[in-house]
Every structure is written in structure tokens, then in C-alpha cells.
């Protein structure tokens, strides 16, 4: 039998991209996180609403106290947006840690959050329908739109709002305000990772659309969360049982082995690559920063 080439066989890609634990920041029950775009600084929201400023090489400090139980964080233009699982949206100034404005969105499930060039937008379910709410920089609501189920929210390179939906006919990306296909969506929970990069999370793995119409499918059982690296070349996945894995996105369907890194004792709530590509952060009952 010919010897297998571990560099060419996708089954062995997990070995080539091993994760090593770097640090576990002292954050009580982390819920959401994001990296600052200008450096290797991680913001982590604890269940009580405390936003922690984490520098993996230097330590952790409390930055501000936002609304509790955050679902998503986003940073742009020196501001931090916090969207809670109860649908509360807050925008804070990072310079001085001041609350700039707050709105109740009435969105309670499948939440998404994004800065756009004019302010902040959110998407989610209100118990009956999926909706997108658009706010300006002062917190005034500028638009409210009903959209089809499983519609993802993002922005283009100029900061304009985008919507995307994946159906059996393929992936459709439209400017906010234009109609999307209304046929049945695929099972993926679709998310933007850049103007032309999206990924969809399903129980059997992750599909990645990275500047093309055809998806790359990464197979992994019980995936509940994922993230793309800044260059789109790597996808991180977190499982229902706490496993964390990284795989390349340049080839077709791949196998990875999350049992190599059992980072958490429960479902992985969030994952985020650092902008410079040095670290991966994951959170569940505790937060970990990994090198890879």
C-alpha cells in the first residue's frame, strides 16, 4: 500500500493546524466577544454585562458595564455595539466607556449585529417574523423591514447594508431594500464574515462562500458555532460538546478532528480570529485564546 501524504490528504489537515492553548482570561461566564480591528486586543462580555479588555500577552481588565447576557459584540469607529439575548441594543464609546444610546429591538432569536456607514443594524426573529432594524449614529431608527427566514445581515466594502440568503437555487446577496428569493432556505444559519465572504453553520458542518458562488463544505458533527479568519483561508468550528477545530477552506469537503482539542465542557458560544491571524478565541463556560 502506498504511503499516505499527510500534507495532501484532507483527513490529516487537523494535524497540520493544531491548536495550542495560550491563555484563559479570568472572565466569569463569557457570552460574546470580538477583536479590536487595530490590534491584538479582545473584548469579552461576561454574563453580568461586564466588558473585559484582554491582551493575551499582558492581561485582562474590566472596561465597562453594559447590559447583561450579550449575544453579539461589534466594534467600529471607536464604538462598541452590544446586542443582548433579550434584544437590547447599546452603543458605547470606547474612549471614556460612555453609553451613547440604547434601544429595545424586540428581537429575541437568531440575532445578528453589524455596523454600517450610517450607524448600526440588527437582524433577528420577533416571535413571528424575521426583521432587520436600521439605526443611525444617534440611535434613531431609520428603517424596519420584514425579510425571509434565515436571511443574513452584513455590509459591503463601502459600508452599505447587505442581505444574503441561501436556497436550493444557490446563494443570493442583495443590497438592503432589494428583494431576496423567497423559496425555502437551506438549513444553514448564514453569517457574513466580510463583504464577499459568508459561512453557514449546520449540525453536520460548515459551508463557506469566499468570493465565489460555489461553497466549500467542511464536515464536522454537532457544530454550533464557527468563524472565518481575516483572509478567509481558515474556518474555526465549535461543537455542542465543547470541541474546537480549525480547517482550511481552499479545498473541497474535508474531515477534521475536534477531539484533538477539547477546549470546553459545554456548547461553544462564540469564536473569533484575531485580525492579524495570530490567535483564535473561543468561549463557553470559560474563555480560551489559542495559537495555531
Q: Is the model more confident about 78 or about 214?
A: 78
Residue 119 pLDDT greater than 70, yes or no: yes
CATH of domain 19-28+187-292: 2.130.10.10
pLDDT in tens, 138-178: 999 999 999 999 999 999 999 999 999 999 999 999 999 99
Residue 253 pLDDT greater than 70, yes or no: no
The answer to whether 19-28+187-292 and 66-149+151-185 have equal CATH topology is yes
Check: CB of residue 43 under 8 Å from CB of residue 50.
Answer: no
Q: What Rg, from alpha-carbon coordinates, does the chain have? A: 19
Per-residue confidence at 274, pLDDT binned at 50, 70, 90? very high
pLDDT of residue 4: 37
Strands 254-255 and 270-273: unpaired
pLDDT in tens, 91-104: 999 998 999 999 99
Check: CB of residue 235 under 8 Å from CB of residue 251.
Answer: no
pLDDT of residue 262: 62
Residue 250 pLDDT greater than 80, yes or no: no
Burial of 146 (0-12, 13-18, 19+ CB in 10 A): exposed
Residue 108 pLDDT greater than 60, yes or no: yes
Residue 14 pLDDT greater than 70, yes or no: no
CATH of domain 66-149+151-185: 2.130.10.10
Other Cβ atoms less than 10 A from the Cβ of 195: the count is 16
Question: Percent of the chain having pLDDT more than 90?
Answer: 72
Predicted TM-score of the model (pTM) = 0.90
Residue 257 pLDDT greater than 80, yes or no: no
pLDDT of residue 278: 85
Domain ranges of the chain: 19-28+187-292, 66-149+151-185
SS3 readout for the chain: CCCCCCCCCHHHHHHHCCCEEEECCCCCCEEEEEECCCCCCEEEEECCCEEEEEECCCEEEEEEECCCCEEEEEEECCEEEEEECCCEEEEEECCCCEEEEEEECCCCEEEEEEEECCEEEEEEECCCCEEEEEEECCCCEEEEEEECCCCEEEECCCCCEEEEEEECCEEEEEECCCCCCCCCECCCEEEEEECCEEEEEECCEEEEEECCCCCEEEECCCEEEEEECCCCCEEEEEECCCEEEEEECCCCCEECCHHHCECCCCCCCEEEECCCCCEEEEECCCEEEEEC
Torsion of CA 108, 238, 228, 192, to 10 degrees: -20
Q: Residues 186-190: what's their mean pLDDT? A: 95
Check: CB of residue 236 under 8 Å from CB of residue 290.
Answer: no
**What is the C-alpha to C-alpha distance for residues 175 and 164, in angstroms, rounded to an integer?**
9
Q: Is the model more confident about 214 or about 283?
A: 283
Alpha-carbon distances, residue 43 vs 21, 27, 46, 50, 170 (angstroms): 18, 11, 10, 10, 35
Q: Residues 244-267: what's their mean pLDDT? A: 71
- Report residue 134 as a C-alpha cell: 436600521
Q: Residues 38-63: what's their mean pLDDT? A: 94
Burial of 91 (0-12, 13-18, 19+ CB in 10 A): buried
Amino acid at each position: 500500500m502506498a504511503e499516505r501524504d499527510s500534507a495532501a490528504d484532507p483527513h490529516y489537515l487537523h494535524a497540520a493546524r493544531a491548536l495550542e492553548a495560550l491563555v484563559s482570561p479570568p472572565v466569569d461566564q463569557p457570552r460574546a466577544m470580538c477583536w479590536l480591528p487595530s490590534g491584538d486586543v479582545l473584548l469579552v462580555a461576561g454574563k453580568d454585562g461586564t466588558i473585559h479588555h484582554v491582551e493575551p500577552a499582558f492581561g485582562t481588565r474590566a472596561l465597562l458595564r453594559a447590559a447583561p447576557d450579550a449575544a453579539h459584540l461589534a466594534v467600529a469607529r471607536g464604538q462598541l455595539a452590544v446586542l443582548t439575548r433579550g434584544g437590547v441594543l447599546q452603543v458605547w464609546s470606547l474612549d471614556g466607556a460612555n453609553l451613547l444610546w440604547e434601544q429595545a429591538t424586540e428581537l429575541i432569536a437568531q440575532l445578528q449585529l453589524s455596523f454600517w456607514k450610517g450607524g448600526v443594524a440588527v437582524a433577528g426573529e420577533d416571535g413571528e417574523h424575521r426583521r432587520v432594524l436600521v439605526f443611525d449614529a444617534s440611535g434613531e431608527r431609520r428603517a424596519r423591514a420584514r425579510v425571509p427566514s434565515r436571511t443574513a445581515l452584513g455590509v459591503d466594502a463601502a459600508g452599505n447594508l447587505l442581505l444574503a440568503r441561501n436556497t436550493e437555487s444557490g446563494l443570493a446577496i442583495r443590497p438592503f431594500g432589494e428583494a431576496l428569493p423567497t423559496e425555502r432556505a437551506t438549513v444553514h444559519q448564514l453569517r457574513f464574515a466580510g463583504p464577499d465572504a459568508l459561512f453557514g453553520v449546520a449540525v453536520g458542518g460548515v459551508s463557506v462562500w469566499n468570493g465565489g458562488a460555489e461553497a466549500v463544505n467542511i464536515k464536522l458533527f454537532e457544530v454550533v458555532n464557527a468563524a472565518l479568519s481575516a483572509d478567509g483561508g481558515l474556518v474555526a468550528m465549535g461543537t455542542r460538546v465543547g470541541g474546537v477545530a480549525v480547517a482550511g477552506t481552499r479545498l473541497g469537503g474535508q474531515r477534521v478532528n475536534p477531539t484533538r482539542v477539547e477546549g470546553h465542557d459545554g456548547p461553544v458560544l462564540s469564536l473569533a480570529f484575531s485580525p492579524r491571524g495570530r490567535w483564535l478565541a473561543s468561549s463557553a463556560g470559560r474563555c480560551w485564546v489559542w495559537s495555531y
